[in-house]
Amino acid sequence: MGLATIIENEAHFQTEMANAGTKLVVVDFTATWCPPCQRIAPFFEQLPAKFPRAVFLKVDVDRCAETASAQGISAMPTFTRIDRLQGADPGSLEAKVRQYYGTDEAADEDSAVAGHMDLVTFITKSECECLNEADDHPLMHALNNGGGYLASDCDEQLIINITFNQVVKLHSLKIKAPADKGPKTLKLFINQPRTLDFDQAAGNTSVQELELTPSDLEGNPVPLKFVKFQNVQNIQIFIKDNQSGGEVTLVNHLAFYGSPICTTNMGEFKRVAGKKGESH
């Protein structure tokens, strides 16, 4: 039966985060003098057994004041890496963990790109956005494999803004989408100060333009011009049209493969803290 790891200091926290790799990490910022923290503690200790592919860490904010400060913790209990969840509500906590944990089927799926990792755990989802997404089918559905799908609203175009919690190198994209309604023409932009509007996306020069085929939409890796994606803090994808020329574009799953720049200050990795792939 798995147990939550009790963090001893900032160096220990950094080591555990690095060792987790692409696994989901859930961090409980707690305090011995906090009654709600003590009430939810037994429930938190049960979660490693329920979610064995995830990593669970406990951080005492008094013992590890440096870590708590770096994560911007101001109330206890606070759970990070699953968005930022405050309060001692077991139902909300388990629902968030389940949301980002994914299914066994998704975990077993062969999704590897040789020499590179799925960067979902490095995406700061709270800072991502999508222009022209349908209210009931937003971007977040496509960032979780098997979690629904992204659909355009007023017409076929979409602008997707993905922010990473540290600088990464991007090697390739993986897109799963219907052969008729999936994206066709993409323009990629990196390190923009703000989300482009549709006129800017159409008129500005992109770092790379892709023309996808139906086979590309089966989840096969779509290589990028790797040399141009060596220092990426955010990437924006302008989906210009879809395969059939219809008014609705659908994306079942969108993934980014590459690697974090290991020399990046780990303070950034944690500051955005939340759980892997989420953060705040």
**Residue 89 belongs to domain with CATH number:** 3.40.30.10
Residue predicted with more confidence, 54 or 82: 54
pLDDT the model gives residue 21: 66
Q: Are residues 153 and 256 in the same domain?
A: yes
Q: Are residues 124 and 252 in the same domain?
A: yes
Average pLDDT score over the chain = 84
166's CB contacts (< 8 A; 6+ apart) are 122, 260, 261, 264, 268, 269, 272
Per residue in 67-102, pLDDT tens?
888 777 888 888 776 567 788 888 888 888 887 776
| Active-site residue flag, 37 | yes
Q: Are residues 124 and 249 in the same domain?
A: yes
CATH number at residue 168: 2.60.120.470
Q: Are residues 175 and 222 in the same domain?
A: yes
Residue 266 falls inside a structural domain: no
| Pair type for strands 55-60 and 5-6 | parallel
The whole domain housing 199 covers 117-260
Q: Are residues 42 and 145 in the same domain?
A: no
Per residue in 15-51, pLDDT tens?
888 777 667 788 899 999 999 999 999 999 888 888 8
In the predicted model, is pLDDT for residue 267 greater than 60? no
The last residue of one of the domains, among 68, 103, 138, is: 103
Structural domains of the chain, count: 2
Q: Are residues 242 and 166 in the same domain?
A: yes
| Active-site residue flag, 262 | no
Residue 279 falls inside a structural domain: no
Other beta carbons less than 10 A from residue 250's beta carbon: 22
Residue 110 falls inside a structural domain: no
Per residue in 112-147, pLDDT tens?
566 678 888 788 888 999 999 999 999 999 987 666
pLDDT the model gives residue 270: 37
In the predicted model, is pLDDT for residue 1 greater than 60? no
In the predicted model, is pLDDT for residue 235 greater than 90? yes
